[in-house]
Structure 1
Amino acid sequence: MSQSELDELTEHINSKLSKVKNLIHLRDIGNDPEKQKIFSRIAEEVIGLAPMLKQFEIRVAEERASLKRLQELHALVEEDLQDAIHMSENVPRNLPLPATAAREEQKENEAPSVKEQPAVAGPKKSRKPIKEMEFITVHEFDAIPAYMKGRVTYDQLNSAVRSFNKAVTEKYKILHQPPRSLNNHSRKLYDRFKENETGETKGHFFVVEADLREFGEVTMDKRFLNLLSMLRHCQRIKELRGGRIIRYQLL
């Protein structure tokens, strides 16, 4: 037997002997009538503590349940806080107007007042107001698949919307003018716009790559083509192909 094993055995034996001594000492105390009275009072007090301990256990269980509910509430509040921080840090520069308000604003900006309308003889042909693409909402942007979105930001996508709207507006301003009132450059553009029209685009607003480059001031590179794909995914435009030309039609 090793020295460590011998020490452990000695410690175990001494522990047992100590307990036996304590029991003998308590037995001697128990035979004393005075000590028996003290033990009886202690026993009564211990018995009286049992209901108090039971109530204490109940209160502890209730507090644990309350703590669990508070932790769940804290998690919900923390989640709402993070959402609020995200929203405050990503407030869009251009918030889309409700459809009714947008139409009213468009009418106010585009329709001349009664005083400004020149007096003409006979009925005047009304022109369809130039349509503009609505800005992408945060919810729509978040719904775009990650593989398509890549590193494109919300502002970059809506910047493409602004460029697209600018190209549409400039193009149809020329188309809404009488051809005889146009200068040579605008007349050439007018003829090109007419050549790009098809039966499928009749009554709709659309642009081609040349319009986007000239009026939208964009570079038709892979990055911008990807932005157009995202606008198509968000159902803002659709592509019409024909005659080696891609037409981007507003929906």
Structure 2
Amino acid sequence: MQKEQLKHLKEFEKLFQVNVESVHHMKYNIPPHIPKKRGPVSGNEGGINHKQAADVQQDQAENIKQTSRNSVRDMEYVTVPEFESIPQYMKGRVTYDQLNIVVDSFNAALKAKYKILSQPVKILSNHSRKLQQRFKTQETKDTKGRCFIVEEDIREFTQMKVDKRCQGILSMLRHCQRLRELRGGGLVRYVLL
């Protein structure tokens, strides 16, 4: 009886050790960012019926109406398969992590810009008021209701330099359909898709 228990405990210890090794591997190999899910691939996923789905959509629509003025949609991280689909001549020496660090910077610039735009003029400082006015003059009929930044915003709100390397990364993001360039009035507007 005790021999059997000892045998089962040793098997259990081996399984536990395998799990511990797996957890350690996950702990030290987690990427600095995890891409968001884009939604179910097949119709079978989700497990809710149509009535529940309609209720969820209605709740989400109410939440969007309440928060749409203050929140800015983030650019999604580039996934590994998308990064690998970028042609080598476009990638150069840019790594996957560097590309997603630029995505973080882009999101930070968007948030900073639209935070200033969402505030009333009365509470803004002189500098912020001038920025807000500049942002409003940069808007065109093509960018109405869409989030965008220009190179000057990148310089203003991030530590990034807008040089050839940055231009190459922005073209990779265009290739991955994360943004679109709109040119006009002497400016290049990077519109979030």
TM-score normalised by length of structure 2: 0.69
1:205 aligns with 2:144: no
Q: Is the 8 A contact 1:92 1:154 kept in 2?
A: no
Name which of 150, 154, 162 aligns with 2:96.
154
- Cα deviation, 1:12-55, whole Å, max 9, x if unaligned, reads xxxxxxxxxxxxxxxxxxxxxxxxxxxxxxxxxxxxxxxxxxxx
Answer 1 or 2: higher relative contact order, Cα 8 Å, separation at least 6: 2
Q: Is the 8 A contact 1:208 1:247 kept in 2?
A: yes
Q: Is the 8 A contact 1:205 1:249 kept in 2?
A: yes
TM-score normalised by length of structure 1: 0.53
Gaps of 5+ in 2: 1-26, 40-62
Q: Calculate percent identity across the aligned residue pairs.
A: 56
Which residue does the alignment assign to 1:92?
A: 31
Q: Is the 8 A contact 1:167 1:207 kept in 2?
A: yes
Cα distance in 2 for partners of 1:133, 1:92 equals: 17
Q: Is the 8 A contact 1:130 1:172 kept in 2?
A: yes
The 1:244/1:175 distance shift into structure 2, 3 A limit, reads same
Q: Which amino acid aligns with 2:155?
A: R
Q: Secondary structure at the match of 1:203?
A: coil
Q: Is the 8 A contact 1:238 1:249 kept in 2?
A: yes
Which residue does the alignment assign to 2:57?
A: none
Q: Secondary structure at the match of 2:180?
A: strand
Cα distance in 2 for partners of 1:145, 1:171 equals: 32
Q: Is the 8 A contact 1:238 1:250 kept in 2?
A: yes
Deviation, 1:224, is 0.5
Deviation, 1:96, is 1.2
1:245 aligns with 2:187: yes
1:214 aligns with 2:153: no
Q: Secondary structure at the match of 1:246?
A: strand
Please list, as runs of the form range in 1=range in 2, the aligned pairs for 1:92-171 lying within 5 A after superposition: 92-99=31-38, 127=69, 129-171=71-113
Cα distance in 1 for partners of 2:86, 2:29 equals: 16
Gaps of 5+ in 1: 1-87, 101-110, 112-123
Cα distance in 2 for partners of 1:126, 1:146 equals: 38
Cα distance in 2 for partners of 1:126, 1:191 equals: 21
Deviation, 1:238, is 0.2
Cα distance in 2 for partners of 1:151, 1:125 equals: 39
Q: How many residues align?
A: 143
Which of these two proteins has the greater Rg computed from alpha carbons? Answer: 1
- Cα deviation, 1:132-187, whole Å, max 9, x if unaligned, reads 10000001000000010011100000011001000000000000001111010100
Deviation, 1:129, is 2.4
Cα distance in 2 for partners of 1:236, 1:91 equals: 23
The 1:154/1:164 distance shift into structure 2, 3 A limit, reads same
